[in-house]
């Protein structure tokens, strides 16, 4: 079950889609051992940026305002010479797979920002094909405010 909300950046037409995904179960407020619906939500922000360097500040503000669990970015247009520190966002880890081609000077690339409370493992072995712009990550999401009553 997905709830979809679209946001459009005012100046440069940044299109983003935010998806809330219920993790599991049918929450019930009558049973205190079952977390409520809000506790079972994973927020994912998806954006086709067409250049992370040129839209970084706008993305940073959007992330600070929406606090997504994971941010998925396509068309990051980043190259190996760009340092991760230039694009760091407080409480988020940056994972990236830059476009690598001698014939194309810009374009391509994917990136993920993963919030610090999300445990993840980057599956390098799944991304061995040359020219494949993909990130494979196994993530574990913590259910907030969950306590079981006896």
For residues 52 and 12, give the distance between their C-alpha atoms in angstroms, rounded to a whole number: 12
Q: Let me know if residue 145 belongs to a domain.
A: no
Q: Let me know if residue 8 belongs to a domain.
A: yes
Supply the pLDDT for residue 106: 72
From residue 51, give the alpha-carbon distance in Å to each of 46, 60, 87, 117, 128.
14, 14, 12, 27, 24
Tokens of 42: 């994973």
Arithmetic mean of pLDDT, 91-95: 96
Better-predicted residue by pLDDT, 22 or 106: 106
Structural domain span for residue 107: 2-140
Q: Let me know if residue 19 belongs to a domain.
A: yes
Tell me which of 17-21, 55-59, 89-93, 95-99 is least confident. 17-21
Give the number of other Cβ atoms within 10 Å of residue 112's Cβ.
Answer: 20
DSSP 69: S
**Helix, strand, coil fractions of the chain, as percent rounded to 5:** 15, 30, 50
pLDDT digits (tens, 9 = 90+) for 101-128: 666 667 889 999 999 999 999 887 776 6
Q: Let me know if residue 81 belongs to a domain.
A: yes
Supply the pLDDT for residue 32: 54
**Is this structure's pTM higher than 0.75?**
no
pLDDT digits (tens, 9 = 90+) for 29-59: 455 555 555 556 789 999 999 999 999 999 9
Tally of domains in the chain: 1
């Amino acid at each position: 079950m997905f709830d979809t909300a679209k946001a459009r950046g005012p100046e440069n037409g940044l299109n983003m889609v935010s998806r809330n995904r219920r993790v599991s179960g049918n929450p019930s407020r009558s049973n205190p051992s079952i977390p409520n619906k809000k506790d079972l939500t994973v927020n994912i922000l998806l954006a086709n940026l067409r250049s992370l360097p040129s839209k970084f500040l706008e993305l940073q503000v959007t992330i600070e305002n929406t606090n997504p669990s994971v941010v998925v970015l396509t068309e990051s247009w980043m190259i190996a010479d760009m340092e991760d520190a230039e694009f760091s966002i407080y409480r988020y880890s940056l994972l990236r797979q830059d476009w690598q081609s001698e014939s194309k000077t810009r374009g391509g690339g994917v990136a993920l920002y993963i919030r610090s409370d999300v445990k993840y493992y980057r599956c390098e072995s799944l991304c061995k094909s040359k020219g494949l712009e993909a990130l494979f990550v196994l993530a574990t999401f913590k259910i907030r405010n969950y306590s079981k009553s006896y």
